[in-house]
Amino acid sequence: MSEKTPTVYDVAAHAGVSIATVSRVLRRPDDVREATRAKVLASVRELGYLPSASARGLAARRTGVIGIFFPGFDAAWEIPALSDAEDGLVRMVRDSDDQWGQRPPDLYFDAVLRGAELEAWRRGLVLMVGVGRGADPEAVVRDIAGRVDGLVVLARSVPDEVLSSIAHRIPVTLLAGPRRGDDFDHVSVANSEGMRALTQHLISTLGVSAPRYVGGPADSPDDVERYAGYCEALRLAGVDPATVPPLRAEFRREIARELAQQLLAEGTLPRALICANDQMALGILDVLNRAGIAVPGEVIVTGFDGIDAGRASVPPLTTVFQPMETLGREAVRMMADRLDAPESEPVSKRLPVTVLLRGSSEG
């Protein structure tokens, strides 16, 4: 007959503390005195105790798990397939800037997720990540929503009616984008203000009369706000935005390369390309550098996000840095607060951004 599985009651008796103290040690160890924490953890190890998520959830009506849903991964189209081939444990290659597909993907979703993980860990919560695949993310969203206490979702990545249905059962926090008549908590960044400031700098300080905007998907809430900031800067300079129609590259580096190659072939490269994210700006730099086009001497290129790859590009990329890690942390903080006070009023928070002037615009 197998030995009896130890319970939280056994740990409390073994350590000579209350069940509540054992729970605090396992959920919020920093809230417990070091000596008590050490005694409880020694009992946990000696007894071989493992916390039961299902039992804990039944007792507290919570699982201690928060979900976060992204519609996809940054640069997912560039991720190579795994191989079973074993052709040696060491390879030697000559590294060069010409190898477009070999840059590390330290990108927007990575930074947001890192922040969410940090804040969940700090609060003694577990983070469950769901990533959409295919044209319909509803099945993934509903599946993860059935397993968690609350759900963080990128704005406009899930149909409104699906989110409304989920919100009847668990709280929902939206990342990015303005409030649109909903009752969700929102956390976003100063997209329009940041893009307006950058565009005004190019026009007023650098003398670019009509910079061209390179946008992502037209229905992206981030892109909508950034394009609005760009248009506002044009109007303030006396330029009608309708005379400078936007270009589109879907927030993707390889599509931006194709766009840049098309502009080169047509001879229609503008004096400045203001990109709605860094990935597109880096794709354009790839092509201009290979074609021998001087940046910023002949063409100015700017981005938005502030990913690490922009600092290491040639030349370093002028961009609007958004606090992506803080965005993830704030989303989890909002969710934790909502779980503690479910009847409180909806909250919206906009985080500040920083325009980083670098070599791709400043020479």
Q: Which CATH architecture has domain 65-77+104-188+325-349?
A: 3-Layer(aba) Sandwich (3.40)
Selection from 145, 153, 138, 7 nearest residue 65 by Cα: 145
Domain 9-51: assigned CATH number? 1.10.260.40
Q: Do domains 9-51 and 191-323+355-362 have the same CATH topology?
A: no
Distance, in Å, from the CA atom of 20 to the CA atom of 3, rounded to the nearest integer, reads: 25
pLDDT in tens, the chain (363 residues): 346 778 889 999 999 999 989 888 877 777 889 999 999 989 988 887 766 555 555 555 678 899 999 886 555 545 566 666 666 667 665 655 444 444 444 478 889 999 999 999 999 899 999 887 655 567 778 888 888 999 999 888 888 888 888 888 899 999 987 777 788 999 999 999 999 999 999 999 999 999 999 999 988 889 999 999 999 999 999 999 999 999 999 999 999 999 999 999 999 999 999 999 999 999 999 999 999 999 999 999 999 999 999 999 999 999 999 999 999 999 999 999 999 999 999 999 999 999 999 999 997
Element spanning 66, H or E: strand 65-70
DSSP letters of 108-176?
Answer: HHHHHHHHHHHHHHHTT-EEEEEE--SS--HHHHHHHHTTSSEEEEETTSS-HHHHHHHHTTS-EEEES
Strand partners, 247: 214
Q: Cα-flanking dihedrals φ and ψ of residue 288, to 5°?
A: -65, -40
Q: In this structure, what token pair is assigned to residue 87?
A: 């052709």
Six-digit token string for 35: 């000596």
Assign 319 to helix, strand or coil.
strand
Q: How far apart are CA 11 and CA 44, in angstroms?
A: 6
| Phi, psi for residue 319 in degrees, rounded to 5 | -155, 170
Measure the CA dihedral 156/162/164/169, to 10°.
-130
pLDDT of the residue at 1:
38
DSSP 8-state class, residue 96: -
Domain boundaries of the chain, sorted by first residue: 9-51, 65-77+104-188+325-349, 191-323+355-362
Q: With H, G, I as helix, E, B as strand and everything else as coil, classify residue 70.
A: strand
Per-residue pLDDT tens digits for 48-76: 776 655 555 555 567 889 999 988 655 55
Whether the Cβ atoms of residue 132 and residue 151 lie closer than 8 Å to each other: no
Q: Looking at residue 73, what is its pLDDT?
A: 58
Q: Based on the number of CB atoms within 10 Å of its own CB, is 265 exposed (0-12), middle (13-18) or buried (19 or more)?
A: exposed
Reply yes or no on domain 191-323+355-362 having CATH 3.30.420.10.
Answer: no
Phi-psi region for residue 75, left (φ > 0), alpha (ψ -120 to 50) or beta?
left
CA distances from 338 to 61, 128, 288 (A): 15, 18, 48
With residues binned 3-state (H G I as helix, E B as strand, rest as coil), the percentages for the chain, rounded to 5, are 45, 15, 40
Largest Cα–Cα separation, the chain: 84
275, 202 contact by CB (below 8 A): no
Per-residue confidence (pLDDT) for residue 140, from 0 to 100: 79
User: Is there a contact between 214 and 249 (Cβ–Cβ < 8 Å)?
Assistant: yes
